[in-house]
Amino acid sequence: MSLAAVNAQAGIKGPLKELQFVAFDVETTGLSAIACRLVELSGVKFDVWHRDVSTFSSLINPGSPIPPEVSKIHGITDDMVKDAPKAEQVLRDFLHFARGGVWLAHNAPFDVEFLKIELLRQKQPLPEVMVLDTLTLAQVVLSGPENFKLKTLAEYFGFGGAEYHRALADSVYVEKLFGKLLEVSHFTTVEELNGTGALKSFSDWGRPASREHLPESVKSHICLLEAAIESSSTVKLKYQGEFLSTRTVQPEAVIESRGSLYLSAYCLKSRAQRTFRVDRIVEAIINT
């Protein structure tokens, strides 16, 4: 376990009634945290008595078009986000809002991964917080539902509404679902939640890739790219995607997602931000 995880876990123990919780949800341009971007981030802060409830919600300009098929799911269009703030500002505001609480999300690995990748792009530290996955908790304590989708569970417990796949509405459903799961399980302490496997540190929901066993060529490319980032240099890449291509990029960050390493960079050829799998870089040369 990382030092951040140890620190986060050490401060979270004892009765649940003494804690604050933040149920949160994201909407995105697609399913891949590497290839896609955030378009909405919301949260609901509460305690186990659901007193002093406060909310946070913001649309996000992803810097790229939202695919029409994705807009059909959450209803967020390019026109809605064109004047919205960028992810960097929204994340900064959300972290301020959510400080001091245990975070909750339904299918936490998905939401956490998107936040993690965006923070890594910005070279920001990951938050030292604990995150509870209500999907995992529901699978442990329930046996009646047809499935464990958020909508199914909201309707199972009788608080389903008309709006789904919008971040604030789904955050409210997560808050209510957590209350119902505590009623069913009779859990009253953090230690009981720990025993379900549903509560982990933010960083432990997506463990970083180990660099120790990478091929030497990949290690060499990482060192070169990180040096280019440090010196704000451009790099000439020979990259094996669907086709072998050569391009010049401005490296921004080396990021890790689900066991793979990626370079986030501004591509001078396409004049847009692009992401490259580091192990598919054939050659990298710093421009001097």
Known catalytic residues? Answer: 165
| Cα 119 to Cα 123: distance, rounded to the nearest angstrom | 6
| Cα 21 to Cα 173: distance, rounded to the nearest angstrom | 14
3-state helix, strand, coil in the chain (%, to 5): 40, 25, 35
Coil, helix or strand at residue 248: strand
**What would the two tokens of residue 125 be?**
């530290």
| Residue where the block lists tokens 């432990």 | 204
| Cα 209 to Cα 206: distance, rounded to the nearest angstrom | 9
Q: Write phi, then psi, for 281 (nearest 5 degrees).
A: -80, 120
| Cα 248 to Cα 251: distance, rounded to the nearest angstrom | 9
